[in-house]
């Protein structure tokens, strides 16, 4: 077969991800697909994978993707005639301490929330299932019967055959060497065998994806890391259907293979693959290659594994696999449309769960490529979660190694990474440090989470229950409710949209009406074609043709590319990222006006400066954009200050606020305040899976206006129908219950949904959760209010109360009971 000169879609890479993507593009979309592999199919990371297939992740959508993989692997042989080696052995995860046990109880609840049955077993039950295991130190184990194992090469060959059967053309020994590009688009893929013109490119080049992406100017922040496992000789008494085993407290995993064991682990001191090539590139000729055995490094796993399975101490090692795989700075893979190039998509960085993800990742990526829009909420793996800072290879290396090292550590709530910090600091960093700020980091920015008072060590101490900052954050929270606080929100992403067609462009992408006079603010969602919420932001109209857009720190790349990608062609409009031009100080609380009035000559009375308005005012000699908005449910202003003046304006506010006891307040108090007020958080409460009507945000949609906007048609189709799910708030009476999100919602004893976020409201004095209540026949008001609710928290049922209104209302009674 000769390489064609033209194709619809070119997939680069013949590992499991490329083959799965090609298979789904051909099967589901009848696309004209050409797959190019520089070596042979599977010859990158895929051939040497251990083949454990787990499904449960903390995101519902990613769990769905992994479940899809399992369903696909089960049935693929029937279609292609090539076996996948799939065995539903189930998976045991061992716990040897109480923190881990709590983690599993929460995990089992998450599983239930996502429609899977995970059981918790006693050590005796575990021993019965896996007699060769030493169980003396166990508290217990979690058991997911639908997990299993498969043969990575066989699945991939089966997918490749399936892709060909559906019309895809797969070429081995064809290396991609570059791209012909024009105006940020790929016109053709250059190879060592000729050039292929195409409409779209999918970069599934595994650990080469970074360098392949770089040829088109896109950044794929991944790092190849060495990963080892051994394969033993036959072990007497080991069942061929033995469950796969994860022993995270001993950092190891096990899988049965032809009567012996595969055993590997995640060490706290991982070894990056330093290739020695410029930019850390991976060599082109790394086909079916391994590194030398490194028993010195592996010994730590061996010692732990023998303590768990003593038979390992006597059995011979048939083979050691020391292979390389691409890992990422947050342990999640990288999928979707590259923001820097109009027609390159990426599926890479699989962090040693590419076999488990392969089927599902190929399915959603294919849909994404065809539609130009993710088919479900894939935010946690979306390539647009990264930013310019991820072009720093050293930063990516350090953070990736930290994430790898944490693979098997207990996942405490609110845990922060420590490497690569501080990366980006606001002008207030040193000042806030003097106030004993305890920082977290978001997209590189250091942000104060809380402030330690005299005598309290400014440091998070993680635990599974209430953590050391709990009561301190309560004081910060109350201070904002009762007096005034100032939040450093300089990390907010900010853009200016200007041009003769600026209004027209925004009118199309925004669900709410932004056609208001200059000086007005609009809270709006941006919707996809399904009516799902792709972004949630504030638009300030500064002039006839000038808008200022403010969104969350982490959504900087995502929201910018969503707007740019959806501005209709030919409009005269420019979007500029001005994040670093403005510091943001949010002055919030009932005394906010008193403080602001002291530092500015501008009239900040309610009559002159009402809610939902933006004005330029002078503070400490600097022109400040003051936005009258709130995320905490109190009187307040977001002050957008020229970045170099942020310190001076902060000092002026602190001085003027002294009589009112002003203090800096951190992000943990902000979270508690917004939970009480019922403000939705994008990425958890509202996502591309949810429409504004389902989310209770229908009031922010201009359906009654006679203008077309992105998502309108989908909403119109649903208009009038009772939604199948509705957003609601919940509180629990038991003060010891810790809500984190993903807890199951029961209505009259039946599962109807799960929490999308959870926390504590210090004014209402209760744990608060939000989530969607679902019912196939529709969720009416009556359905919501007539049920009796419970939440399942770490496998325990606790009575809950549903709330359809904000829990806190500053204008009326303080707390709604």
Ligand X SMILES: Cc1cc2nc3c(=O)[nH]c(=O)nc-3n(C[C@H](O)[C@H](O)[C@H](O)COP(=O)(O)OP(=O)(O)OC[C@H]3O[C@@H](n4cnc5c(N)ncnc54)[C@H](O)[C@@H]3O)c2cc1C
- Contact positions vs ligand X (CB under 6 A): 12-18, 36-39, 43-46, 48-52, 175-176, 204-208, 212, 227, 229, 321, 323-325, 348, 350, 352-356
* Nearer of residues 175 and 442 to ligand X, judged by Cβ: 175
**Residue 613 in tokens:** 């308005």
* Nearer of residues 207 and 767 to ligand X, judged by Cβ: 207
Which one, of 180, 224, 208, lies nearest residue 347 by Cα?
208
Helix (H) or strand (E) holding 35: strand 33-36
Q: From the centroid of its chain, how far is CA 508? A: 27
Q: Do 638 and 586 contact (CB within 8 A), yes or no?
A: yes
**Residue 539 in tokens:** 């638009």
Taking the complex as a whole, the smallest distance from the CB of residue 412 to ligand X amounts, in Å, to 25
* Nearer of residues 15 and 657 to ligand X, judged by Cβ: 15
CA distance 587 to 622: 16
* Nearer of residues 45 and 109 to ligand X, judged by Cβ: 45
Residue with tokens 């919602």: 745
* Nearer of residues 186 and 498 to ligand X, judged by Cβ: 186
The sign of the torsion formed by the CA atoms of 351, 393, 373, 76 equals: negative
End-to-end CA distance of the chain: 73
* Nearer of residues 172 and 515 to ligand X, judged by Cβ: 172
CA distance 664 to 451: 8
* Nearer of residues 18 and 427 to ligand X, judged by Cβ: 18
Taking the complex as a whole, the smallest distance from the CB of residue 234 to ligand X amounts, in Å, to 20
Strands 344-348 and 194-203: parallel
**Residue 611 in tokens:** 């809610």
* Nearer of residues 13 and 221 to ligand X, judged by Cβ: 13
Q: Do 60 and 772 contact (CB within 8 A), yes or no?
A: no
Q: Do 29 and 370 contact (CB within 8 A), yes or no?
A: yes
Taking the complex as a whole, the smallest distance from the CB of residue 742 to ligand X amounts, in Å, to 23
Taking the complex as a whole, the smallest distance from the CB of residue 44 to ligand X amounts, in Å, to 2
Taking the complex as a whole, the smallest distance from the CB of residue 207 to ligand X amounts, in Å, to 6
- C-alpha distances (whole Å) from 591 to each of 220, 357, 639, 662, 810 are 47, 52, 15, 9, 13
Strand, coil or helix: 61: helix
CA distance 782 to 767: 24
* Nearer of residues 83 and 802 to ligand X, judged by Cβ: 83
Taking the complex as a whole, the smallest distance from the CB of residue 611 to ligand X amounts, in Å, to 50
CA distance 197 to 372: 19
Taking the complex as a whole, the smallest distance from the CB of residue 203 to ligand X amounts, in Å, to 9
* Nearer of residues 175 and 801 to ligand X, judged by Cβ: 175
CA distance 731 to 676: 10
Taking the complex as a whole, the smallest distance from the CB of residue 273 to ligand X amounts, in Å, to 10
Strands 493-498 and 169-171: unpaired
Q: Does the N-terminal peptide bond of residue 422 adopt cis geometry, omega within 30 degrees of 0?
A: yes
CA distance 686 to 700: 14
* Nearer of residues 13 and 329 to ligand X, judged by Cβ: 13
* Nearer of residues 355 and 587 to ligand X, judged by Cβ: 355
* Nearer of residues 59 and 207 to ligand X, judged by Cβ: 207
CA distance 51 to 355: 6
**Residue 340 in tokens:** 């820097």
**Residue 520 in tokens:** 């007005």
Taking the complex as a whole, the smallest distance from the CB of residue 413 to ligand X amounts, in Å, to 26
Taking the complex as a whole, the smallest distance from the CB of residue 191 to ligand X amounts, in Å, to 7
* Nearer of residues 249 and 257 to ligand X, judged by Cβ: 257
Which one, of 286, 401, 389, 278, lies nearest residue 46 by Cα?
286
Taking the complex as a whole, the smallest distance from the CB of residue 348 to ligand X amounts, in Å, to 6
Taking the complex as a whole, the smallest distance from the CB of residue 29 to ligand X amounts, in Å, to 20
Helix (H) or strand (E) holding 430: helix 429-434
Taking the complex as a whole, the smallest distance from the CB of residue 225 to ligand X amounts, in Å, to 8
CA distance 738 to 490: 30
Taking the complex as a whole, the smallest distance from the CB of residue 1 to ligand X amounts, in Å, to 16
What's the angle, vertex CA 234, arms to CA 149 and CA 312, rounded to 5? 90
Taking the complex as a whole, the smallest distance from the CB of residue 770 to ligand X amounts, in Å, to 33
E strands of 301-444, at which residues?
A: 317-327, 334-337, 344-348, 437-442
* Nearer of residues 322 and 490 to ligand X, judged by Cβ: 322
Which one, of 467, 412, 463, 473, lies nearest residue 437 by Cα?
473
* Nearer of residues 13 and 375 to ligand X, judged by Cβ: 13
Taking the complex as a whole, the smallest distance from the CB of residue 14 to ligand X amounts, in Å, to 5
CA distance 383 to 194: 29
Which one, of 312, 226, 297, lies nearest residue 263 by Cα?
312
Strand, coil or helix: 761: strand
């Amino acid at each position: 077969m000769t390489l064609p000169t033209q194709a619809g879609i070119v997939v680069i890479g013949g590992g499991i991800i490329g083959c799965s993507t090609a298979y789904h593009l051909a099967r589901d979309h009848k696309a004209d697909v050409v797959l190019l592999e520089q070596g042979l199919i599977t010859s990158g990371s895929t051939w040497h994978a251990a083949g454990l297939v787990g499904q449960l992740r903390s995101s519902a959508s990613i769990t769905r993707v992994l479940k899809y993989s399992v369903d696909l692997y089960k049935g693929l042989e029937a279609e292609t005639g090539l076996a996948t080696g799939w065995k539903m052995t189930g998976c045991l995860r061992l716990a040897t301490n109480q923190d881990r046990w709590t983690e599993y109880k929460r995990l089992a609840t998450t599983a239930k929330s996502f429609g899977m049955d995970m059981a918790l077993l006693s050590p005796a039950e575990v021993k019965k299932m896996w007699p060769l295991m030493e169980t003396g130190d166990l508290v217990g184990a979690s058991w997911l019967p639908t997990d299993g194992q498969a043969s990575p090469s066989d699945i991939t060959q089966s997918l490749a055959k399936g892709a060909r059967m559906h019309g895809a053309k797969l070429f081995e020994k064809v290396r991609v060497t570059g791209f012909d590009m024009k105006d940020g688009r790929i016109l053709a893929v250059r190879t060592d065998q000729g050039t292929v013109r195409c409409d779209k490119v999918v970069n599934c080049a595994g650990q080469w994806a970074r360098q392949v992406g770089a040829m088109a100017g896109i950044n794929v922040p991944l790092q190849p890391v060495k990963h080892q496992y051994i394969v033993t000789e036959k072990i007497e008494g080991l069942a061929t259907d033995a469950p796969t085993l994860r022993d995270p407290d001993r950092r190891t995993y096990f899988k049965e293979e032809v009567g012996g064991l595969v055993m590997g682990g995640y060490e706290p001191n991982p070894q990056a693959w330093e290739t020695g090539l410029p930019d850390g590139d991976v060599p082109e000729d790394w086909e079916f290659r391994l590194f030398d055995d490194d028993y010195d490094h592996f010994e730590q796993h061996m010692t732990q594994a023998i303590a768990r399975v003593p038979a390992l101490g006597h059995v011979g090692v048939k083979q050691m696999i020391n292979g390389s795989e691409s890992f990422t700075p947050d342990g999640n893979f990288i999928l979707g449309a590259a923001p820097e190039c109009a027609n390159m998509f990426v599926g890479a960085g699989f962090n040693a769960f590419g076999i488990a993800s392969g089927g599902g990742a190929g399915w959603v990526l294919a849909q994404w490529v065809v539609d130009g829009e993710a088919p479900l909420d894939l935010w946690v793996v979306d390539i647009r979660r990264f930013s310019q800072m991820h072009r720093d290879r050293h930063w990516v290396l350090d953070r990736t190694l930290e994430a790898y090292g944490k693979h098997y550590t207990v996942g405490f709530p609110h845990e922060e990474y420590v490497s690569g910090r501080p990366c980006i600091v606001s002008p207030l960093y040193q000042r806030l440090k003097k106030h004993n700020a305890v920082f977290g980091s978001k997209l590189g920015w250091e942000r104060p989470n809380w402030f330690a008072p005299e005598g309290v060590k400014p440091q998070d101490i993680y635990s599974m229950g209430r953590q050391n900052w709990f009561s301190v954050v309560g004081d910060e929270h109350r201070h904002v409710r009762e007096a005034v606080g100032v939040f450093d929100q300089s990390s907010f992403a900010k853009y200016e949209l200007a041009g003769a067609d600026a209004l027209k462009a925004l009118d199309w992408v925004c669900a709410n009406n932004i056609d208001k006079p200059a000086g007005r603010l609009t809270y709006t969602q941006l919707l996809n074609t399904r009516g799902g919420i792709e972004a949630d932001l504030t638009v300030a109209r500064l002039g006839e043709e000038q808008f200022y857009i403010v969104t969350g720190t982490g959504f900087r790349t995502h929201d910018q590319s969503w707007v740019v990608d959806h501005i209709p062609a030919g409009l005269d409009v420019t979007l500029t990222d001005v994040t670093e031009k403005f510091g943001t100080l949010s002055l919030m609380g009932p005394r906010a006006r008193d403080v602001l009035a002291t530092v500015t000559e501008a009239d900040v009375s309610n009559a002159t400066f009402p809610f939902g308005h933006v004005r330029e005012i002078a503070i400490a000699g600097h022109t400040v954009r003051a936005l009258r908005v709130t995320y905490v449910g109190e009187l307040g202003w977001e002050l957008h200050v020229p970045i170099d003046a942020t310190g001076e304006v902060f000092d002026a506010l602190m001085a003027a606020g002294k009589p009112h006891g002003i203090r800096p307040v951190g992000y943990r108090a902000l979270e508690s305040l917004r939970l009480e007020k019922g403000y939705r958080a994008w990425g958890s409460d509202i996502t591309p899976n949810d429409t504004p009507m389902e989310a209770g945000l229908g009031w922010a949609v201009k359906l009654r206006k006679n203008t077309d906007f992105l998502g309108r048609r989908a909403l119109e189709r649903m208009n009038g129908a009772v939604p199948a799910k509705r957003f609601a708030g919940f509180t629990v009476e038991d003060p010891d219950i810790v809500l984190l999100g993903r807890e199951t919602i029961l209505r009259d004893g039946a599962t109807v949904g799960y929490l999308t976020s959870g926390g504590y409201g210090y004014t209402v004095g209760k744990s608060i959760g939000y989530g969607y209540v679902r019912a196939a026949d529709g969720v009416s008001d009556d359905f919501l209010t007539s049920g009796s609710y419970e939440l399942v928290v770490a496998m325990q049922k606790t009575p809950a109360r549903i709330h359809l209104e904000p829990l806190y209302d500053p204008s009326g009674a303080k707390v709604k009971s």
